[in-house]
Structure 1
Amino acid sequence: MGPLEEGYVREAFATNWVSTVGPNLEAFEKAFSELVGGLPCVALASGTAAIHLGLKLLGVGKDDEVICPTLTFAASANPIVYEGARPVFVDSERRSWNLDPERLAEAIEDRVKRGRKPKAVVVVHLYGQSADLDAIENVCTQHGIPILEDAAEALGTQYKDVQVGTRAPLSIFSFNGNKIITTSGGGMLVAHDPAWVAKARFWSQQSREPSIAYEHKELGYNYRMSNVLAGIGRGQLAVLPERVAARRAVAARYEAAFRDLPGLSLMPQAPWGLHTNWLSVFLVDSGATRDAILQALAAEDIEARPVWKPMHLQPVFADCPRYGGEVAEDLFTRGICLPSSSSLTIEDQQRVIDVVSRVVTSRSATRTPARQVTPGGETWASRGG
């Protein structure tokens, strides 16, 4: 938090605009619209709420199917079920860890053959890296299936020099407390059609009809952001470029520090865009080593996490169809998210680096050497243990 946020929040209190209307909301939406190329948008209580309303706008309803990447946070899939629909999970590709266009095509073709053409495709931009939108859009266009971009983790992320969340008919962003900018809790729904934004705004305010009586002809939701939180968002949005630079610098320092360590690699930086490195995510050569790093960091009171557990492995989605999953499972087994905050100090990051280096070096030193026979004679080589 900085002085801009405090000033806008003080203004909200001083003018008594503390509910779900007020000048901060209008200004925040206007500033965000400018960031996404002038597209209309509505500020909501969470990114999850934005996905929910986005799916409703796409007409998703009871017994429909919606394709979603399996490697994501549950909030990408839960709103599908809110509407009585069923998620269909699709695997990742290794270049970006995002939705695999080839697997996507396979899934759509198979669902169509079964008479279950998907109603929509949720495309997630994972950990601040864009999915391959050209390839994904090509597949969806062939079948006439709309895309909803889940850019909850990707504010500041670019695909071919353009902010993600601007190409699909509908896109969402999140301002949860752990995101690259925050309103403490909140989200944004962006649409190309102003009428859709107006409808989402109406639904988010309990679908109250414009009459003196409290009349409701449609089911509504309490999904609007408050003017106080929008004030925080206004201040945070002003420093977005600095936050992106800070996250990328954190990832770069980790990568430089681990360059000579065996079996530790930064999440790929796909060639088609700017990766914000919202989280600094690394792949470790084995699940056993990854878990040892997590345990060692926890012992030093340093929080780290595995990569998202794939949705097809979640008990709540056990009965949902899936296409592939092996890549996502491997990334989950070996992936680790290290401390990545924009406010992470050099000293604290060095603590993380020291622990990770100690574990990886120790594990490498204790591996059993295996005798290998080569055309040039007998040599010794390290074998993973």
Structure 2
Amino acid sequence: MSSQSRIILSAPHMGGHEKAFIVDAVDNGWVTPLGPNVDGFESDLSAFMDTNIKVTALSSGTAALHLALIIAGVQVGDEVICQSMTFAASANPCRYLGATPVFIDSEKLTWNMDVNLLEEAIKDRIKLTGKVPKAIIPVHLYGMPAQMVDILEVAARYNIPVIEDAAEALGSSIDGKQCGTFGTMSILSFNGNKIITTSSGGALVSYNEDYTNKAKFLGSQAKDPAPHYEHTEIGYNYRMSNLCAGAGRGQMIVLADRIEKRRSNYNFYEQHLQLEGVSFLSEQEGVKSNRWLTTIIIDPVQTGGITRQDIAAKLQQNNIESRPLWKPMHMQPIYQTSPFYGNGTSEQLFADGLCLPSGSDLTDTDLKRVVSTIREAIPVLNV
């Protein structure tokens, strides 16, 4: 292992404004899962995404997805269509409710849900089960927008609500429309490795205020209006704390800078890794990715047998963190029996893909070190 300092994949990056909001909350006793920072953070997010959209801040993106599925009416025995290539949290809440995730493979342009397989799956599930799937959960992988216009057209034909997983995509857009504003409901994540962080946190977003109000109700233990504790529904302890929301308010001040820096990281890598056998995920016309993580595909046929595992090992030797692309859900032991509609794309991406350090705190020296290490790992191309 190198004695050089560690380069992290995506480290939390404070902007310097968080402390004032947090100290104010402490000084005024607002340390509960409500308060002016929560209200302010929700307003800040709405102002950034679309002033007409409503936001409910929650304890995690997973909590937001769980509540969205409840609000969508998902119950035991239902099926929910999910993207296979994603983090487990995009699918696990289906199981919380006793529903079955039906996994859809990726398409090659964005690495997100393949719209043709989506419609094939819907038709097939109706034929096999006699029921229409209760929801569709597309994901904007690594900040790259999914083909939402086409996905929404298919969903509308079968009257299926779309729950947009924008956990990785705050600041990404399609034709100027922000990711997180396309779905019937959408979810965001502010985990420590995301483009902005509240340490732990998430949000449910929707133009339908009834949905966001329902999320507030369910996420606050479903307490009915009464002089005593009265409950007619099962609730959850999912509301964001005022302290975490204070951090979020500070982070919103620097969000535009964070997006610009992540995009700059991508541009640096793309410029300096123009090597045979190394390719990047490009933006399509009208699409803007926040480039939460920069990812590369290594083709061992073109690199003289050098694989993404070889490059990851070389990076690790130089104290640089990298990570394979998400292992598709249909390949995970916990989902081996779930229905899957595939074309081989996500399996190939997992085999050959690598996430590079992409944090907004990376220096030029850090980026040059990553690039030089990768170039050293593929010596045949450095003649």
The letter of the residue matching 1:55 is: L
Cα shift at 1:365: 7.8
Counterpart of 2:330 in structure 1 is 312
Q: What SS does the corresponding residue of 2:27 show, helix, strand or coil?
A: helix
1:280 to 2:298 alignment: no
Alignment of 1:135-150 (within 5 A): 135-150=150-165
- The letter of the residue matching 1:361 is P
Separation in 2, partners of 1:325, 1:74: 20
Q: Deviations over 1:288-340 (max 9, x none)?
A: 51000011111111110000000000000110000005100000100000000
Give 1:224's match in structure 2, choosing from 236, 239, 242. 239
1:58-88: per-residue Cα shift (whole Å, max 9, x none)? 1011000000110001110000111110000
Partner of 2:19: 6
Cα distance in 1 for residues equivalent to 2:323 and 2:131: 36
RMSD: 1.3
Aligned to 1:341: 359
Q: Verify the 8 A CA contact 1:70 1:325 in the aligned structure 2.
A: no
The number of residues matched between the two structures is 364
**1:20 and 1:225 in contact (8 A); partners too:** yes
Specify the code of the residue in structure 2 equivalent to 1:194: E
d(CA) in 1 for partners of 2:206 and 2:322? 35
Q: Is the 8 A contact 1:262 1:360 kept in 2?
A: no
What is the alpha-carbon distance in structure 2 between the residues aligned to residue 42 and residue 178 of structure 1? Answer: 21
Which residue is 1:19 aligned to?
32
The structure with the larger Rg is 1
Q: Which residue of 2 aligns with 1:94?
A: 108
- CA apart distance, 1:231: 0.5
Identity of aligned residues (%): 46
Give, in angstroms, the shift of residue 145 of structure 1.
0.9
Q: Determine if the alignment matches structure 1 residue 124 to structure 2 residue 139.
A: yes
Query: Matches of 2:211 and 2:269 in 1, distance apart?
Result: 42
Larger RCO: 1 or 2 (CA < 8 Å, sep 6+): 2
CA distance in 2, matches of 1:149, 1:215: 32
Does the 8 Å CA contact 1:149/1:165 hold for their aligned counterparts?
yes
Give the conservation status (yes or no) of the 8 Å contact 2:15–2:254: no
CA distance in 2: counterparts of 1:248 and 1:164, whole angstroms: 16
- Deviation of 1:271 after TM superposition, in Å, equals 2.2
TM-score when normalising by structure 1: 0.92
Cross-structure match for 1:254: 269
Map of 1:70-219 to 2, 5 A cutoff? 70-114=84-128, 115-219=130-234
Q: Are the counterparts in 1 of residues 375 and 382 from structure 2 also a CA contact under 8 Å?
A: no
- How far the C-alpha of 1:175 sits from its partner, in A, is 0.3
Unpaired segments of 5 or more residues in structure 1? 367-385
Among residues 23, 39, 43, which one is paired with 2:57 in the alignment?
43
Inter-CA distance 288–75: structure 2 relative to 1 (3 Å threshold):
farther
Kindly provide the amino acid, as one letter, of the partner of residue 49 in structure 1: A
Q: Deviations over 1:328-374 (max 9, x none)?
A: 00001000000000010111111111110111224x589xxxxxxxx
Identify which of 258, 261, 280 aligns with 1:266.
280
Which of 360, 374, 382 pairs up with 2:378? 360
Give the partner amino acid of 1:111: R
Amino acid at match of 1:102: N
Separation of aligned partners in 1, 2:322 and 2:16 = 30
TM score, norm. by length of structure 2: 0.93
Is 161-170 or 69-78 further displaced after alignment?
A: 161-170
Once the two structures are superposed, residues 117-154 of structure 1 have per-residue CA deviations (whole angstroms, 9 ceiling, x without a partner) of 21110011110111111111111111111100000000
Local SS of the residue matching 1:124: coil
Partner residue in 2 for 1:378: none
Counterpart-to-counterpart distance in 2, 1:3 and 1:348: 22
Matched residue, 1:237: 252
Q: Which residue of 1 aligns with 2:348?
A: 330
